[in-house]
Amino acid sequence: MSFDYDLFVIGGGSGGVRAARVAAADGVKVALAEEDRYGGTCVIRGCVPKKLMVFASEYSGMVDDARAYGWDFQAGDFDWSSFKTKLHAELDRLEGVYRNILASNGVETFDQRARMVDAHTVELADGSKKTAKHILLAMGGRPVMPDLPGAELGITSNEIFHLDKLPEDILIIGGGYIACEFAGIMHGLGVKTTQYYRGAQILRGFDDETRGLVCEEMCQRGIDVHLGTNILEMCKEGDKIWVKATNGDERLFDQVMFATGRRPNTDNMGLEDVGVAMGRKGEVTVDDYSQTGVPSIFAVGDVTDRVNLTPVAIREGMAFVETVFRGNPTKVDHELIPTAIFTQPEIGTVGLGEEEAAEQEPIEVYATSFKPMQQSFAGRAERVLMKLVVSKATRKVLGCHIVAPGAGEMIQLAGVAVKMGATKEDFDRTVAVHPTMSEEIVTMKAPVRST
Ligand code: NDP
């Protein structure tokens, strides 16, 4: 049977674009459909604009620090509109880069929605049908809002980059990556920021001491974090949004942002009809090789809801190409993934948290928390944390957790050691780089806890 293409990719985000261009560079005949903008969540409405907003928000604190170092700086106002114009110009540039990468590798692109018709056929929004030997689902995910009265008045991370003006105050709902990162961003940009999280501590799933310190530091900086608190209802009141919370508070906010999780983009894709199985959240079910139950259909990235991170989607895309087009079946390694959370202060983490590790085996915990030189000199009270979770039996570092400015940069490098199976003694025999914050990671002598 002959097909229009060897590979048809649905979705032009990190995973889809990587798979498409690498396969095409190998001489595979590839097409890709994207209904929105090329680059996907990461480039258009996620990591990239978020990080640029983190940078923008950090300058507010730098003026006071610079003055403490002797500079005669005066704080001025933040001009959202000029930043936003520049931000979107940068996103346009990056989208262009993505489009060029596809074009220059010979991938045919369709700027429209595609849905599945059968195991080898997709239908585009214009009604045309395309056949392919293999189909890769890479549609990503989208934010979800809880079902409560007035929820439609709120925004999500999709809209936050497009505000006409910055609100005077904002309520952020949720305690995950997105909620905590945007609480820091908004506060840094001068917006009075309140955060409601329904659980006992933000950032569920991460090391407890790490979560505790970040929450403390967020409060210390002036973010009004309410734990054990959720939103009940909201409605319009003049120019403001009236919000009733589970703690009995009734308050008015300019803006309410929901960061209450994300869902895979699998609605109305025809997947059920074709026999592709999906889980409870609508995620495409795949095996270790990213293959669905329909042999010609694979899926990578957030649409599979495995580890929802850009570099993971890229690796899944690469492994798919190895497996299907290079005759080299390759599983994606989802173990020991280093990651950063761009809260203020930042978190860098790899491996198991203390609580998770202690459930598995006897451990030793090495940790130190201190005021870093640069900020301390400037009169800031903020503390950083360096922490290693070590197996008593093998001496391997099971987890490394850092809360500090630049923790994301640090954990990338510590992640190499942890991935290689470094022991505590390997860390110990590495000479400290002085004077740095990260030197503490190789100078911790005695465990603070042992289980
Ligand atoms: P998360 O799943 O991390 O967090 C969702 C938050 O919303 C949780 O605190 C959850 O509470 C809460 N929540 C869920 N439903 C409700 C509800 N009905 N009412 C109130 N609160 C609710 O999702 P995010 O949207 O923050 O991020 C999605 C994913 O994107 C992350 O898991 C991550 O993989 C990725 N990401 C990565 C980043 C990075 O690498 N720096 C940055 C941003 C996103 P509870 O804990 O109680 O369930």
CA distance 236 to 43: 33
Q: Are residues 182 and 268 in the same domain?
A: no
Bridge partners (DSSP) listed for residue 33:
10, 110
pLDDT at 75 over 90: no
Ligand 1 atom at minimum distance from 309 CA: 34
CATH of the domain at 76: 3.50.50.60
Separation CA 162–CA 45 (nearest Å): 10
Note whether 244 and 273 are same-domain residues. Answer: no
Contact call for residues 356 and 449 (beta carbons, < 8 A): no
Q: Are 285 and 293 in contact (CB under 8 A)?
A: yes
**Whether residues 113 and 33 fall in one domain:** yes
Tokens found for residue 247: 């703690």
CA–centroid distance, 146 to ligand 1, in Å, is 12
Per-residue pLDDT band for 216 (boundaries 50, 70, 90) equals very high
CA of 182 to the centre of ligand 1 (A): 12
Question: What tokens were used for 218?
Answer: 């967020």
CA–centroid distance, residue 297 to ligand 1 (Å): 28
Residue nearest to atom 35 of ligand 1 (CA): 308
Q: Please list the residues that pair with 236 across neighbouring strands.
A: 241
Give, for 236, the enclosing helix (H) or strand (E).
strand 231-237
Tokens of 149: 């009265």
pLDDT (tens digit, 9 = 90+) per residue, 87-146? 999 999 999 999 999 999 999 999 999 999 999 999 999 999 999 999 999 999 999 999
For position 1, what pLDDT does the model report?
A: 78
Closest among 186, 253, 185, 184 to 219, alpha carbons compared = 184
In a domain, 184, yes or no: yes
Alpha carbon 164 to chain centroid, angstroms: 25
Instruction: Out of 259, 274, 305, pick the residue that ends a domain.
Output: 259
Among 16, 187, 217, 219, residue whose Cα is nearest residue 102: 16
**Residue 333 within a domain:** no
Strand 262-264 and strand 297-299: the pairing is unpaired
Task: Ligand 1 pocket test: pick from 45, 155, 177, 343 the residue with the most ligand atoms within 8 Å of its Cβ.
Answer: 177
Which residues approach ligand 1 with their CB closer than 6 A?
146, 173-179, 181, 197-199, 204, 230, 259-262, 308-309, 339-342
Q: How far apart are CA 435 and CA 426, in angstroms?
A: 20
> Is 399 in the same domain as 343?
yes
**Nearest CA owner, ligand 1 atom 46:** 204
Instruction: Say how many Å lie between the CA of residue 396 and the centre of ligand 1.
Output: 30
Q: What percent of the chain has pLDDT over 90?
A: 99
What CATH number did the domain enclosing 366 receive? 3.30.390.30
Residues 160 and 245 in one domain: yes
Average pLDDT over residues 230-258: 97
- Classified as helix, coil or strand, 336 is coil
> ω before 345 within 30° of 0 (cis)?
yes
Q: Which residue lies with its CA nearest to atom 23 of ligand 1?
A: 261
Domain boundary among 259, 275, 296: 259
Which residues, in sequence order, are CB contacts of 223 under 8 Å at separation 6+? Answer: 183, 184, 187, 193, 194, 195
| Domain-located, residue 348 | yes
Residue 332 located in a structural domain: no
Residue 364 lies in a domain: yes
- Of all protein residues, whose CA lies closest to atom 13 belonging to ligand 1? 260
Final residue of a domain: which of 203, 229, 259? 259
Same domain, 284 and 172: no
Of 172, 256, 262, 337, the one to substitute when testing ligand 1's pocket (max ligand atoms within 8 A of C-beta) is 262
Say which of 88, 226, 401, 434 is annotated catalytic: 434
252 and 274 assigned to the same domain:
no
Distance of CA 447 to the CA centre of its chain: 32
Per the rule left: phi > 0, alpha: psi between -120 and 50, beta: everything else, 61 is alpha
Asked, for residue 102, whether it belongs to a domain, the answer is: yes
Position 382 pLDDT exceeds 90: yes
pLDDT given for residue 23 in this prediction: 98
- 3-class secondary structure, 19: helix
The answer to whether residues 176 and 200 belong to one domain is yes
Nearest CA to ligand 1 atom 22: 260
- End-to-end CA gap in the chain: 62
Range 156-167 average pLDDT: 97
Extract the tokens encoding 158. Answer: 């999709």
Name the pLDDT band for 403 (thresholds 50, 70, 90).
very high
Residues 254 and 372 in one domain: no
Same domain as 15, residue 63? yes
Active site residue 88: no
- Supply the pLDDT for residue 445: 95
Ligand 1 atom nearest residue 205's Cα? 46
Rounded to 10 deg, the angle between the 310-325 and 14-25 helix axes is 30
Owning domain of residue 193: 151-259
Same domain, 69 and 190: no
Per-residue confidence (pLDDT) for residue 136, from 0 to 100: 98
Q: What is the pLDDT of residues 30-48, one digit of tens each?
A: 999 999 999 999 999 999 9
Using most ligand atoms within 8 A of CB, pick from 54, 260, 316 the residue to mutate for ligand 1.
Answer: 260
Asked if residue 179 lies in contact with residue 259, where contact means CB atoms within 8 angstroms, the answer is yes
User: For the chain, how many structural domains are there in total?
Assistant: 3
Question: For residue 260, how far is its CA from the centre of ligand 1 (angstroms)?
Answer: 5
According to the model, what pLDDT value does residue 451 have? 92
Q: What is the pLDDT of residue 205?
A: 97
d(CA 371, CA 373): 6
| pLDDT value of position 339 | 98
Quote the ligand 1 centre to 341 CA distance (angstroms).
12
Which residue reads 């049908």 in tokens? 129
Nearest to 344 by CA among 57, 33, 1, 22: 57
Average pLDDT over residues 290-309: 98
pLDDT tens track for 89-99: 999 999 999 99
Q: Which residue's CA is the closest to the ligand 1 atom numbered 30?
A: 308
Q: Are residues 268 and 133 part of one domain?
A: yes
Residue 8 has pLDDT above 90, yes or no: yes
